[in-house]
A and B are shown apart, each in its own frame.
Chain A
């Protein structure tokens, strides 16, 4: 039966996916000098816009953790003459949608607006970006929401594990703590702190923009000047790169409940590294695409220790880790950790197989075009590509870069990148038989 199945799969793999040049990216420079990427498509009468300001919550000043996060959440809480509710009413009256979010490397603004109300929506978003009010009433209301979120996370084993992992890996660097801040730091934030965070984070020297949908290059240029042209030229200094700490540790935290949330990491690889694609294939084989990974096979299929386990290459602007997570019954935590270490050691020592590499390439090259199937998704991907310094031709060449990776490349990277003895575990739960090194 297995033979027949493999034959079936082999036959299917033979389809080489033609990477159709569906995504035609234009490079646009506005009259005022703002650069953007555009995918023009007039099928549906709206445009998706994505703007990212590099820096994000890592720009928080010492003692002001959570300032950028709270500031970002307040951008849509009133601007110019409009208080929070008036702003929402104006936005909703023209059926525009704005999203504001922050993470450790950026503040992101996503917007969708109808072609009909494009001009008014641009004016309103411009007002929010340049004249946010930070009304005391709004600050207190949103601060309350953030504090509740922090309190909720303090009772969520996965969130606790994630925070402990960040701190273990990155120490006192901003990456080492949650960008939400702590209860104490958020309670202490003043309106001046938020204004400082706003001026530091939203500036023209760190803007990346992309649009997709029903707009021409000329109209996009005009829109960008209107939207972003009068933001300050420069903002706060970007944080420094960070070296990993706590390698090889086991960090435990007791938490009531039947399960342990386990996170683990070791050093990763930056996107600029010539071995990044080999590492990507390696990660997929280890724990990347769920059902076909080594870890899924050993931890779930063979032993039934969990419902799911995954790993990912987390390449931030200033540091990179290879991290994973799994939830397991408390009395199975020690076994799950040992299986993970064993898989790690086995792959580092013995490498992977040609079939695994081929299958992963088929997966990676086949899944890539599937990402570009909507204006909002396209705008978001295009901003990400610009932040990585990629050219507009990247989507057309990316699959060839994946195909160029050999089994020898993956095994060389496995031997050098995977360091089972430096794998650090964070275990949150009531795990039995797990010795802590903290």
Chain B
């Protein structure tokens, strides 16, 4: 549990038998989505799916690691852990046990833009989990001892997930280089020396400043009706007073990025060198998602398919200089995000060679433009994904939560599939030319220590 989602998780372990792919949307169930708000400002989204007696209950706080004050990196994630340390009613570490005792599962995660808590239980236990979640929204109890113990857990988590993993370290260094002023450059889990200094009072201050119904989104999905959710939400969340400390999230913005940055991380533990390149890119904004839609289609065209996308075709099949290629972009972000390329060199190919080959392919693409047949296939898949994604209620709930906690609206989420269908090849090329600017890029090499490149 409590796994921080890193900013650009480039998955080290890939698989050659990938079933699903990245474009996931929810228009097919738009008619089953209801929204309303409580008087205290809690925004509520209900997604109905009555096929199985299961319900997912989620609370998303519009506060993340990028909202931390300087010197306190990791406090959002630390607080997420401490939210399991109990309230006046529920003793420390009991929350998950109570949910598990009912056969359910629960989890929480922190990202730069939000902190979310969710439970998945049989639908007749919604009342229980909602009661527990509402309780800890305003009744958190923290002992000094629990805070000290949990800080050790967080430091271990950092050791295990970041310091023991060279690819995670490279991600961290690259984000720090990418964002010269915006806090997306600071890791969600925090810098070790700052985690070590986080205190009980820091956690309580962050909690009181940010955890309130008017800074949260409640999402309930599954075998439940909007009326049932409204009644339960009024009962459990209704009595919690709104906070007058909640304000718009205005973060430092990036200055013009004028110089390309390049990093090499060499580590004896690296078995598989690779090159990864991130370009600063715009995000989806409320009522303004067209450019992000074009970038999403661009990522699909360049790297969305293991056999037919531009990079795979050129580098893996024709030139045979790479065994894995990737182009990815996720526009769900409060502020400027990145467009990512990665390539794993084939045996005997250096990082320099595979990077040059990758850039050659991108340059060629900028000249020749979009392949019409591939574009049509991607559109068909995007459409199909609306049908497939309706099978996964938890995934749908997650998508709405991420979007709403990142500043988008339900209408934006529902407009997205049509916006993707409407993207033209010209729009894709215009975005490509705008975003693929090396002055705004960070290139990272992960290589084995001592190996010649």
Contact = CB atoms under 8 A, between A and B. Distances in A.
3 tightest Cβ-Cβ pairs between the two chains A and B: A366-B103, A95-B384, A88-B307
Contacts of B317: 84-85, 137, 141
A369 B53 contact: yes
B381 A41 contact: no
B51 A73 contact: no
Given A85-B307, A148-B323, A369-B122, A8 B149 contact: no
26 contacts: A12-B98, A15-B125, A20-B53, A22-B52, A84-B317, A85-B308, A89-B377, A92-B305, A93-B377, A98-B19, A114-B387, A142-B16, A148-B272, A148-B324, A148-B344, A149-B13, A258-B163, A289-B100, A290-B1, A291-B1, A300-B153, A366-B103, A370-B120, A373-B54, A373-B222, A374-B392
Contacts of B93: 291, 301
Given A9-B98, A327-B160, 14 more contacts: A2-B91, A93-B376, A256-B268, A259-B159, A289-B100, A292-B97, A292-B100, A300-B153, A304-B153, A306-B156, A366-B102, A366-B125, A367-B103, A370-B122
B381 A152 contact: no
Interface of B: 1, 12-13, 16-21, 28, 51-54, 89-91, 93-94, 96-98, 100-105, 120-122, 124-125, 128, 149, 152-153, 156-157, 159-160, 163-164, 222, 268-272, 305-308, 313, 316-317, 320, 323-324, 344, 346-347, 373-374, 376-378, 380-381, 383-385, 387-388, 390-394
A31 interface: no
B89 A4 contact: yes
B217 to A, nearest CB: 22
B388 A97 contact: yes
A218 interface: no
A230 B124 CA distance: 47
Contact of A370 (B19, B21, B104, B390): B104
Nearest to B20: A97
B96 A291 contact: yes
A359 B104 CA distance: 12
A362 interface: yes
Contacts of A98: 19
A39 B147 CA distance: 49
Interface string A2-45: 10110011001101011010100000000000000000010111
Given A89-B308, A99-B18, A362 B391 contact: no
Nearest to B163: A258
B102 A46 contact: no
B91 A5 contact: yes
Nearest to A23: B52
B105 to A, nearest CB: 7
A433 interface: no
Contacts of B159: 258-259, 329
A301 B146 CA distance: 10
Contact of B52 (A12, A149, A304, A369): A369
A410 B190 CA distance: 44
A363 B100 contact: yes
Nearest to A149: B13
A70 to B, nearest CB: 10
A147 interface: yes
Interface string A243-261: 0000000000000111100
A76 B15 CA distance: 13
B152 A304 contact: yes
Contacts of B270: 155
Given A92-B305, A366-B122, A145 B388 contact: no
A372 interface: yes
Contacts of A329: 156, 159
Contacts of B104: 366-367, 370
* Secondary structure call for the B interface: mixed
Contacts of B305: 88, 92
A169 interface: no
A410 B341 CA distance: 53
Interface in A62-101: 72-73, 76, 84-85, 87-89, 92-95, 97-101
A15 B91 CA distance: 22
A110 interface: yes
A391 interface: no
A22 B51 contact: yes
A147 B347 contact: yes
A18 B121 CA distance: 13
A39 B107 CA distance: 30
A307 B388 CA distance: 35
Contacts of A2: 91
Nearest to B157: A307
A152 B271 contact: yes
Contacts of A359: 101
B84 to A, nearest CB: 9
Contacts of A8: 89-90, 98
B102 A362 contact: yes
Given A46-B387, A291-B93, A370-B103, A95 B157 contact: no
B430 to A, nearest CB: 25
Nearest to B141: A1
A114 B347 CA distance: 39
A52 interface: no
B318 to A, nearest CB: 10
A142 B324 CA distance: 10
Contacts of A290: 1, 96, 100
B343 to A, nearest CB: 12
Interface string A114-156: 1000000000000000000000010001101111110111111
Interface string A230-273: 00000000000000000000000000111100000000000000
Given A15-B125, A22-B52, A92 B16 contact: no
Contacts of A364: 103
Contacts of B377: 89, 92-93
B107 to A, nearest CB: 11
A141 B320 contact: yes
A181 B98 CA distance: 43
Nearest to B125: A15
